Structure 1
Amino acid sequence: YCVANMPGAVAHTSTYALNNATLPFVLALAGKGAGKALADDSHLLAGLNVHRGKLTYKAVAEAQDLPFEEPRAALGV
């Protein structure tokens, strides 16, 4: 079953689910700042695509034939 907008069928419930899944990341970013939050959480760091003009997501860099930089190196950690 491949329907893109299934959460729309249960909007209220899916809103709570999305909030519960993302709130810890938002709180970390707000409390620590982006650099420290990314350095402290490998899951958050895995979502970093670009930092200060440097591509930090290898698949995107390869697809665009552009230079790739490791996320931790781009952050300077």
Structure 2
Amino acid sequence: MSDWDYSVFWNETISQFSRELSEQEFSMWFNIEYDSSLQETIRVRVPSAFFRDQLANTYQKSMESKLLELS
């Protein structure tokens, strides 16, 4: 297990998105899996590079903001 386990912050961030987005939008974009974390980094698994890029373009700033608020 990593010394930098941010899974609790990630799970809460995902939970917040589930309450804020429509069910369809949430299931489309946030059916992603927490993989691991390093100092100040969270790694998730996504289906493809295209998906990763679209997720980053659409939600990265919101994700970072939520994670900063929680940590």
TM-score, structure 1 normalization: 0.27
User: Which structure's residues are more often strand, by fraction?
Assistant: 2
User: Which structure's residues are more often helix, by fraction?
Assistant: 1
Structure whose CA Rg is larger: 1
TM-score, structure 2 normalization: 0.28
Task: Return the structure number with greater relative CO, CA threshold 8 A, min gap 6.
Answer: 2
